[in-house]
Structure 1
Amino acid sequence: MHQRILLRARKGPFDVLTAEETYERDWIGKNTGNLVFSHAAYKLLATATAEITPSRFRADPRDAGEINEKYDVFVIPLANAFRRDYADRLGSMTRLIERLKIPVVVLGVGAQTDVDGDREHLRPIDDAVRAFCRAVLDRSHSIGVRGEITEDYLRALGFSAVEQIGCPSMFLHGDSLRIEKAKAALGTEDRLAFVISPYVRALAPLVRHHHRRYPNLRYVAQDLYTLGTLLYGDVPKLRGKTDDLPIHTSHPLLVEDKVRMFMDPWPWMEYLSGFDFAFGTRIHGTITALISGTPGYLLAHDSRTLELARYFDIPHRLMRDVPADVDAAQLYEDADYTALNDGHKERFARITAFLAKHDLDLSFGDGNSAARFDEQVRRTVYPPAVRPASAYPAEDLLTRLQFLRDENRALQQKLKALRAQPLRERVKQAVGGRVRRMLRH
């Protein structure tokens, strides 16, 4: 079995970074949902003898020699990597994999198109996806995909070694997952978590309605843009702007301190465990609620969210079929978790078999390895949720300003050192940097 594992992850589950550091270096890969599935994959593989190293999302073909020497396997948890705006990064990953001599295992990759699985939308990336799949299957028994839409897509491209395994995030607790409604009906005073994508314009009337009706509503954000807004306010060109969605500091949810964002999955789950219901368009926001024991409901707006909801039997509706006046109480009443609960053990057995086929041990079958991982999580002190800046006392804001001042000083020193170099050296560095970026992309 493979022991020296290189895991595609922006950071490891015990890498503790402040919100300011997270924003400055983008330690969430644009979206904290990335951490939910990559850290769940880490836990699944964290046996007593495994040595797991996060890749930091680096995909440089020049690293292939070092990777071949230091690791036994490259495990790649992926989300919606088969999408048009990811083609360049998929190409970089492909060029790295083509130079690897070790096995490569893909966990839960998905295609992103509309909820009808429109193949024409994906056609511009067909060649990039074919190259990636060929490179992986030269080093792997099969490719693990999120659900039936991605499986159908890859089979249409000519690949048969494709297995539906869902997403590692739903298996954070192994084969143990059961969702029960604690209340017969949802009341207006109950705690409600909005897990929404702020770029989905159709959500605007839902935001307005639920903000008015549910005083204990909280918006649990996930994206890097919102993190920047919470930390430092609106970017200059958007100052003074308003919007029906919570994307500016002027929105009532920010003004009333009803927005939270977490830098790590563990405090995020603890927070959501105190809610009565979570709903919205974020698939990993919904999943994070579910693995916290909180009933969740997905409003599916594309194939990547829909196929995971179908695979795991997560209660859902298509966003295009959701009336503007829908109420969370109605969604709560409609939600049925029977199939999700009853099918979980079989789905866990499926991903267990997939990992075994690829010579990867599972922490849940390795004595107390999974429990030992959970204990390390409990001992780790993670940063608290980020709230709107207006909710913080002056001393906290001063600390944030000092961080910005230190960052600015460091940048000035780098610029000064660069200017002190001869022109020839500056050109060399600039050209070298450009070449490195081209190789990465």
Structure 2
Amino acid sequence: MKRILVRSPKDPFHVISPEQALALYPKGVFGRNVGNMIFTESMHRLITVPDADVVSDSFLSERLADSRSHAKRINEEFDQFVIPLANAFRPSFYRNLKQMTQLIERLKIPVVVAGVGVAGGTGSLDNPFPNNPPEVTANIERFLKAVLDRSSTIGVRGETTREYLASLGFGDEHVEVVGCPSLFRRGADLRVDKKVDHLTEDSHFTMNLSPYVPIMDELSIRHAAKYPHMTYIPQGHDSLEMLLWGVDRRPNKRPDLPAHTTHPLYRANRMRFFVDPSTWNDYLAEREFSFGTRIHGNIAAILAGTPAHVLAHDARTLELARYHEIPHTLVPNLPEKPDAADLYDQTDYTAFNDGHLARWEKFARFLEKNGVEHVYEAGKANPEYDKQIAKADFPGPVETLFAESESAHDAMIKRVAEVYKAAGEATLQRRHKPKYPFAPKKQLLRESKALRPLVPIAKKILRRS
């Protein structure tokens, strides 16, 4: 049986609690943004053919400082390493990419990269090419060479990335635009249609946002007031910490951002966080619309058959929206006070639906050219994958600490009991010192021993009285 290693946060069938998802690594098991699970799980499903054993690398390929022993194990145990990526060509991913490159250079097996792209950032809508420091650019070039020594081509997410890599000397013979693996989870079988004619104030829809996009502050407050059934779906590890533990993440001078426990959306329990794509999909399938700046938050809705509208704020979100023909609006082109109902009216999935088959066929050819088998090849279907996902008891969405349902309260009680047990009485005593502290425990023990001879006398006095 062929064994394939996949860069991903965890095995798709592995059930972990939200508390575990946050605690396993400094920025969560999912690596800061739970949107990473959307495209990595999609790749898992695509390449889990019946005669293959597909294993998650738990991001160890970039989390281990010394990759020598890890590389040795991969060479001995696996036949192929498949790496779905997002906007990895950026300074903040420098260390991760460097460690991944060092690992790849030690591998003797084929390595296939799909969905990688350049980062966006302030002003990138007008100037999409990144102005990376020399060491970052050198690291990108080293990564590309290492991968191309072990594969036919590299799959990038859009035209901006293709042009950027061409400027580094990696032309069309090395690079193919294939989009994001997430949108090919079900191969050619993906279509999105509107569920209602128009949104009203009673509509049930979701919003996602990137906290570094300034317009989302006012937009979130205004929509929270106008649409009582709108729900905000955050994706960052810091938001999960806020929902689970009430940690206040209020940015300075930005009280309208839904990043603190006094925000109206938090107080009204209109936030939901998902630690598995399956439950995320189920929730979004019941909504009428999704909009916001998070590209994979909106792709999650599309995979659930729910229309989404991307607010493209940088080059990385724009190139994916353009390639897949996802309805979108550039943030600078939005009206002064954009409204979800207006965005919904402008949302048309005709081009997306009409072009999906051709995009899927291109992606399939990319996989086949690089020796990656997939479940939509003849004789490679694997219905057991979906059955196993359906059987897994994934945790439901994390709600805020203002949740009213019995199940949410049960989860909170269990969480508090676990924390008390883990922290222990001694820890709480250290954190909550009384104004007039008791005598030290050792002193109390000495005093109690000194009083023992007096106990019989005290008993006699009590009997006489």
Q: Distance in 2 between matches of 1:87 and 1:347?
A: 30
**Distance apart, 1:119 and its partner CA:** 2.8
1:403 lines up with 2:418 in the alignment: yes
Alignment-derived partner of residue 225 in structure 1: 238
Cα distance in structure 2, aligned partners of 1:173 and 1:405: 44
Tell me if the contact between 1:47 and 1:366 (Cα under 8 Å) persists in the aligned partners: no
Q: Deviations over 1:63-97 (max 9, x none)?
A: 11111111111110101100111111111111111
The Cα offsets for residues 209-251 of structure 1, whole Å up to 9 and x where unpaired, read as: 211211110001111000000000125x869997101000000
Task: For 1:328 and 1:241, locate their aligned partners in 2 and report how far apart those are by CA, in whole Å.
Answer: 25
* 1:375-401 C-alpha deviation (Å, 9 max, x unpaired): 111111110100001215554323112
| SS of equivalent residue, structure 2 residue 402 | helix
Task: Show the 5 A alignment for 1:355-366.
Answer: 355-365=367-377
AA partner of residue 68 (structure 1): N
Query: In 1, Cα distance between the equivalents of 2:218 and 2:4?
Result: 46
**Secondary structure class of the residue paired with 2:309:** strand
Contact 1:205 1:324 in 2 (8 A): no
SS class of match (1:260): coil
Find the aligned partners of 2:128 and 2:52 in 1 and give their Cα distance.
41
Q: Is the 8 A contact 1:40 1:169 kept in 2?
A: yes
Look up the match of 1:73.
80
Cross-structure match for 1:171: 184
Instruction: Report the equivalent of 1:102.
Output: 109
Structure 2 counterparts to residues 268-347 of structure 1, below 5 A: 268-347=280-359
Bigger Cα displacement from structure 2, 118-127 vs 53-62: 118-127
Structure label with greater radius of gyration: 2
Q: Where does residue 3 of structure 1 map in the other structure?
A: 2
Q: Deviations over 1:296-348 (max 9, x none)?
A: 00001112111110010000011122123111111111111111000111111
DSSP 3-state at the match of 1:398 = helix
Matched, 1:51 2:22: no
Q: CA RMSD for the aligned pairs? A: 2.0
User: Equivalences for 1:9-408 in 2 at 5 Å?
Assistant: 9-25=8-24, 26-59=28-61, 60=64, 61-62=67-68, 63-113=70-120, 114-119=124-129, 121-124=131-134, 125-160=136-171, 161-235=174-248, 243-365=255-377, 367=379, 369-391=381-403, 394-408=409-423
TM-score, normalization by structure 1: 0.89
Identity value in percent: 41
- Once the two structures are TM-superposed, the CA of residue 258 in structure 1 deviates from its matched residue by 0.4
The verdict on how the C-alpha distance between 1:366 and 1:403 changes in structure 2, with shifts beyond 3 A counting, is farther
Q: Distance in 2 between matches of 1:13 and 1:117?
A: 37
Whole-Å separation in 2 of the counterparts to 1:343 and 1:358: 23
Cα distance in 2 between the residues matched to 1:286 and 1:239: 25
TM-score by length of 2: 0.84
Deviation at 1:150, TM superposition (A): 0.6
Q: Size of the alignment, in residue pairs?
A: 409
Return the letter of the residue paired with 1:74.
F
Q: Contact 2:129 / 2:160 at 8 angstroms: preserved in 1?
A: no
Partner secondary structure for residue 258 of structure 2 = coil
Partner SS for 1:6 = strand
CA distance in structure 1 between the partners assigned to 2:376 and 2:128 by the alignment: 38
Structure 2: 5+ residue stretches without partners: 428-465
CA contact (8 A) 1:241 1:250 kept: no
Structure with the larger RCO, 1 or 2 (CA within 8 Å, 6+ apart): 1
Q: Give yes or no for contact 2:224–2:265 (8 Å, CA) kept in 1.
A: yes
Q: What is the deviation of 1:8? A: 0.4
Q: Which amino acid aligns with 1:135?
A: A
Alpha-carbon distance change, 396 to 147 in structure 1, aligned in 2, over 3 angstroms:
same
Q: CA deviation at 1:182?
A: 2.0
- Give CA-to-partner distance per residue, 1:327-378, whole Å, 9 cap, x none: 1111111111111000111111111101111111111225473422111111
CA 1:162 to 1:407, structure 2 compared with 1: closer, same or farther past 3 Å? farther
8 A Cα contact 2:2 2:51, kept in partner: yes
Task: Please say which of residues 88-97 and 115-124 is displaced more in the overlay.
Answer: 115-124
CA distance in 2, matches of 1:121, 1:175: 37
Distance 1:269 1:97, change over 3 A: same
2: CA distance, partners of 1:146 / 1:109? 6
- Residue by residue over 1:132-167, the C-alpha shift from the partner in whole angstroms, topping out at 9 and shown as x without a partner, is 101111111111000001111111100120001111
2:461 equivalent in structure 1? none
Aligned partner letter, 1:359:
G
Higher helix share: 1
Corresponding residue number in structure 2 for 1:428: none
Q: Give the secondary-structure state (helix, strand or coil) at the position aligned to 1:215.
A: coil
Contact 2:217 2:258 in 1 (8 A): no
Contact 2:207/2:231, CA 8 A, preserved across alignment: yes
Relative distance call for 1:110 and 1:239 in structure 2 (3 A) is: closer
SS of 2:132's equivalent in the other structure is: helix
